[in-house]
Amino acid sequence: MRPLSPLSSAVTAEGARHRLDQAQQPLYVSLSNLLETEIYEGRWRSGAQLPTIAELSDKYQVARVTIRQALGVLSTKGLIASVQGKGTFVAENVIPKQMVELDSDWHHLLAMLDGNLPEPIEIRKTCDLPASLNGTGAGTSLGDYRYMRRIHRNHGQPYCVNEVYLANDFYKRSPKAFDTQMIIPNLTKITRTKLKRLRQSVRITSADLFIAQSLNVPLNAPVAEVKRLITNRKDEIVYYGIGQYRGDLVVFNTTIDVPD
């Protein structure tokens, strides 16, 4: 196993230190989160040797004791292992995080959701759409919606907290499937060609305490707020969802054709 090349440029060090200073938590916790990201994103691959404590101290511009504390956190999580006389290595069984690709194309969206699992947090059997939709021209309300707040997981990793308003007229057609599976793919199955349009908007915000705990990210970490609204051919709102996505796991892909 070859050791990784240390990244010690001044720009890299300053940028890393700035990220650590911005976090509202102990420095060694922030550093352990940063190192964990390096591992899960594949920059430090399974079985690779980590730089020495001295090299990490220089790179991140922190004391060596802080490096040791951060490595201790990673060791407790089973992400790294020390071999006496050889160094510290990324654990062999570490699987890189699966990126969640959100495309503007309907079929790609369905493919991304395939196999993902929802974990229910809160349910309201009947409610109205949020008042914020009034006057936006989003479509006509069907009047009675089921509210579901859930955590979405991909390969066991939480990547989204989603709030959904699903028209009860549609929910009642397949309640078990909607309760236990991803909603949009099941909505596609039961409505066939009756859906008309998906509107999607994205806003970058920060994780509050609940989102941070649910997605295993630091407080105020970047999250992408994705709002989706699906209407049928009568321009009635069938589905309205507000998803809070982990900023480090989500990639948004959009294809724009250049006009002739």
Residues 158 and 200 in one domain: yes
Q: What is the mean pLDDT of residues 201-206?
A: 92
| Residue that wins the pLDDT comparison between 13 and 120 | 120
Report whether 205 contacts 219 (CB < 8 A): no
Q: What is the mean pLDDT of residues 99-106?
A: 72
| Residue that wins the pLDDT comparison between 96 and 142 | 142
Q: In terms of C-beta distances under 8 Å and separation of at least 24 residues, what long-range contacts does 61-68 make, across chains too?
A: 61/13, 61/14, 61/16, 61/17, 62/17, 62/20, 62/27, 62/31, 66/27, 66/28, 66/31, 67/31
Residues 22 and 51 in one domain: yes
Given 63, 90, 117, the domain boundary residue is 90
Indicate if the pLDDT at residue 182 is higher than 80.
yes
Give a yes or no: residue 85 inside a domain.
Answer: yes
Residues 76 and 200 in one domain: no
Residues 121 and 244 in one domain: yes
Give a yes or no: residue 58 inside a domain.
Answer: yes
Residues 224 and 248 in one domain: yes
pLDDT in tens, 123-150: 999 999 999 898 788 889 999 999 999 9
Please give the residue range of the domain that contains residue 246: 100-253
Total domains in the chain come to 2
Query: Percent of the chain, pLDDT > 90?
Result: 47
Query: Percent of the chain, pLDDT > 70?
Result: 89
Residues 73 and 112 in one domain: no
| Residue that wins the pLDDT comparison between 44 and 243 | 243
Mean pLDDT of the chain: 85
